[in-house]
Structure 1
Amino acid sequence: MANASAWLARLQRDDVSEADALEFEAWLAESSANAGAYRRTLALWHEYEAAAEAVLVELAAASRPSRPVRAVARPGLSRRWLVGGGGFAVAAGLAVAVMPSLLAGPAIQSYATGKGQHQRITLADGSVVDLDAETKLSVSFSRGARRVTLADGEAIFDVAHDAGRPFIVAASNHVVRVVGTQFDVRNRHDGLSVTVARGKVDVRPAAAATSGRAFLLTAGQRLEIDGTGLERLSAVDPQETFSWRSGRLVYRAEPLANVVADLNRQFVEQIEVSDPELGRTPVTGVIVLDDQASVVARLSLMLPIRSIPSGEKLLLLRK
């Protein structure tokens, strides 16, 4: 329990790094007991946050031994917070970790990946987020909600269940709201898409948006909203959407221009399509992201195209 409390406090710091996240994952993997202890500590922390003001009053009273303290039941405050011994010690320890955030407001943590870079982060609540290349994401947790802003890019969210604190993703003038589930959000220049692998996801326009409908997505569904606001709901295999995490891109009748845009986020040398008509050519198949030369060679086997160097770029032409 002590190690779990220490990890909880460590993950609340403003300067949490990727190294911290990797060490945390390693600690969780050491033993199933570690994960269980962290979940119990996290639940205790959430209970504390729900009754934060009352707990702080009790802590202040406990620091004045000259005055007798009378235990008074307060709404929403469990009796074990008011008794002595280990339970109160844990409460005091968690207060040390939580009080700075209560006083200063929720800290914002930002993450960004570059070309060809993927990153996995473990959030303070135990949720896991996988970031695709060229993705910008910020995280802000408070007592009432877990908020994430996906400014650009794509991410897979495996959200820890917490009925008291919804997990909210803001992207492209829309809000994705869940309690605990697994889903992918893609926010690129060509539009927004949300794909659900587990649980239910509510997607609706942000308060500032002027149009759009609300959707409740279930496992195996994808909502796509293009740049004009056109909405399309379809049934999909979520694992195909998630395949970028393992270095594969799966396409079904996707325009070549969109495929090239994806590849340009994975490699430094950029690819250009010679004309718009060629860019509309549909691509169906799996592209393995090993090295760029092999990727372009396999793409030329799937389509009647060839590539030639053009300055610092590769130019795709019709054969």
Structure 2
Amino acid sequence: MASGSIVDEAIAWHVRLQSPAADGTLWAEFTAWMEADPAHADAYDAVAFADDRLSEELAGAGTIATPSPPANNDNEPGALPWYRGRAFLAIAASLVLALFLSPMLLKSPGMESIAAQPGETREIALADGSKIALNGGTTIALDRKAERFARLESGEAIFMIKHDSARPFIVETGDGTLRDVGTIFNVRQSADGLEVAVSEGSVQYQPGSEAVTLTAGKQLRVKRGTSKAIVSAIDPATVGGWQQGRLSYRDAPLTTIAMDLSRSLGTPVTVSPDLASRRFSGVIRIDRDEARLFRQLESLLGVRARHSAKGWQLTR
């Protein structure tokens, strides 16, 4: 790629990857560029976030020809790279550079906060055909002017994203960023950290120099306060099972199970401190008859379930 500012390069990659001619070689070169410097990922994210705005402006600026593969030699003296033509940069650079230098602008007035209360679920239909389902006790922020972006503020959601290789879907969480091209994946954000499980397609965690790619049947966990991502196998059929009232676990602490039960039932569920380290593997089926559900959990988890005005507590 010709030399230039990081923003110029990010704009160039953004347009190149939209071409139907983009192949595996081009994507490999793009990945190498992203991994070369964390600032590259930040710049490219700014381009992706601004995509909808750019598309509207560029439509009035004329068609930009599909570029030829970059030559090995430098550009001829005085010649501008195809992507630095006046018609493109006059519109794109000002928008993308503003986003790149001012992250607060990403939280535009178009951001809308949507919540699902504990004990209820909600489904959100996006204009491009994608869907997001919210579990109970979940809050998400969407930008209606850039619908390929969401910020999961708390709780759990499953994303069913329509394929668009030119416009990746970005999910921002308190523990990292996810980039998706078209797939189904579940994201859980809690006080313990971040958990991502993929049912179909693939998702990239922390796109950039330390990117971790998750394919179908893979699950990632990042403990709050750490940067280490732990990847493990998972049955794709269990991803988002909460939608059918089915909670699946593999060596999960009882505190996580209590949190999930609280989210699904709308009733607080806690664990006594002496059980905090106990773990469980298996499937729990949600029963709206709480008394019956907790009698079953006593046997399944090997605990006692006590009910009070404050909710349920699992004890020895």
Per the normalisation by structure 2, the TM-score is 0.63
* Contact 1:243-1:250 at 8 Å conserved across structures: yes
Classify 1:175/1:310 alpha carbon distance in 2 versus 1 (closer, same or farther; 3 Å). Answer: same
What's the CA shift string for 1:33-56, capped at 9, x where partnerless?
Answer: xxxxxxxxxxxxxx9976634654
* Contact 2:186-2:239 at 8 Å conserved across structures: yes
Q: Aligned residues: percent identity?
A: 35
Residue 317 of structure 1 corresponds to 315
Residue 305 of structure 1 corresponds to 303
Distance in 1 (alpha carbons) for counterparts of 2:294 and 2:235: 26
Deviates more, 1:262-271 or 1:175-184: 262-271
Q: Does 1:136 align with 2:139?
A: yes
Q: Does 1:213 align with 2:210?
A: yes
Partner SS, residue 206 of structure 2: strand
Partner SS, residue 214 of structure 2: strand
Q: What is the Cα deviation at residue 189 of structure 1?
A: 0.9
Q: What is the identity, as a one-letter code, of the residue corresponding to 2:63?
A: P
What's the CA shift string for 1:152-187, capped at 9, x where partnerless?
Answer: 011111111122222100012411011211111111
Residue 62 of structure 1 corresponds to none
Q: What is the Cα deviation at residue 150 of structure 1?
A: 0.2
* Contact 2:117-2:138 at 8 Å conserved across structures: yes
What's the CA shift string for 1:84-113, capped at 9, x where partnerless?
Answer: xxxxxxxxxxxxxxxxxxxxx772232100
Partner SS, residue 308 of structure 1: strand
**Equivalent of 2:116 in 106, 110, 113:** 113
Q: What is the Cα deviation at residue 249 of structure 1?
A: 0.7
Residue 209 of structure 1 corresponds to none
Residue 250 of structure 1 corresponds to 248
**Equivalent of 1:294 in 292, 295, 301:** 292
Distance in 1 (alpha carbons) for counterparts of 2:52 and 2:114: 28
**Alignment RMSD (CA, Å):** 2.8
Q: Does 1:222 align with 2:222?
A: no
Q: What is the Cα deviation at residue 122 of structure 1?
A: 0.8
Classify 1:109/1:252 alpha carbon distance in 2 versus 1 (closer, same or farther; 3 Å). Answer: same
* Contact 1:112-1:135 at 8 Å conserved across structures: yes
| Larger RCO of the pair (alpha carbons < 8 Å, separation 6+) | 2
Q: What is the Cα deviation at residue 269 of structure 1?
A: 3.5
Partner SS, residue 266 of structure 1: helix
Classify 1:174/1:126 alpha carbon distance in 2 versus 1 (closer, same or farther; 3 Å). Answer: same
Classify 1:168/1:55 alpha carbon distance in 2 versus 1 (closer, same or farther; 3 Å). Answer: closer
Residue 284 of structure 1 corresponds to 281
Partner SS, residue 216 of structure 1: strand
Q: Does 1:149 align with 2:142?
A: no
Residue 15 of structure 1 corresponds to none
* Contact 2:220-2:230 at 8 Å conserved across structures: yes
Partner SS, residue 245 of structure 1: helix
Partner SS, residue 117 of structure 1: coil
Q: What is the identity, as a one-letter code, of the residue corresponding to 1:253?
A: D
Residue 192 of structure 2 corresponds to 190
Deviates more, 1:123-132 or 1:255-264: 255-264
Where do 1:1-319 residues align within 5 Å?
A: 52-53=56-57, 55-56=59-60, 74-76=62-64, 107-142=110-145, 146-204=148-206, 213-229=210-226, 230-274=228-272, 276-291=273-288, 292-318=290-316
Q: What is the Cα deviation at residue 142 of structure 1?
A: 4.7
Distance in 2 (alpha carbons) for counterparts of 1:189 and 1:167: 25
* Contact 2:221-2:229 at 8 Å conserved across structures: yes
Classify 1:121/1:268 alpha carbon distance in 2 versus 1 (closer, same or farther; 3 Å). Answer: closer
Deviates more, 1:128-137 or 1:156-165: 156-165
* Contact 1:48-1:55 at 8 Å conserved across structures: no
* Contact 2:200-2:236 at 8 Å conserved across structures: no
Classify 1:108/1:281 alpha carbon distance in 2 versus 1 (closer, same or farther; 3 Å). Answer: same
Distance in 1 (alpha carbons) for counterparts of 2:252 and 2:55: 51
Classify 1:185/1:316 alpha carbon distance in 2 versus 1 (closer, same or farther; 3 Å). Answer: closer
Structure 2 gaps of 5+ residues are 1-50, 66-107
Q: What is the Cα deviation at residue 191 of structure 1?
A: 0.8
Q: What is the identity, as a one-letter code, of the residue corresponding to 1:305?
A: V
Q: What is the Cα deviation at residue 141 of structure 1?
A: 5.0
Residue 36 of structure 1 corresponds to none
Partner SS, residue 239 of structure 2: helix
Classify 1:121/1:56 alpha carbon distance in 2 versus 1 (closer, same or farther; 3 Å). Answer: same
Distance in 2 (alpha carbons) for counterparts of 1:52 and 1:131: 30
Q: What is the identity, as a one-letter code, of the residue corresponding to 2:249?
A: Y
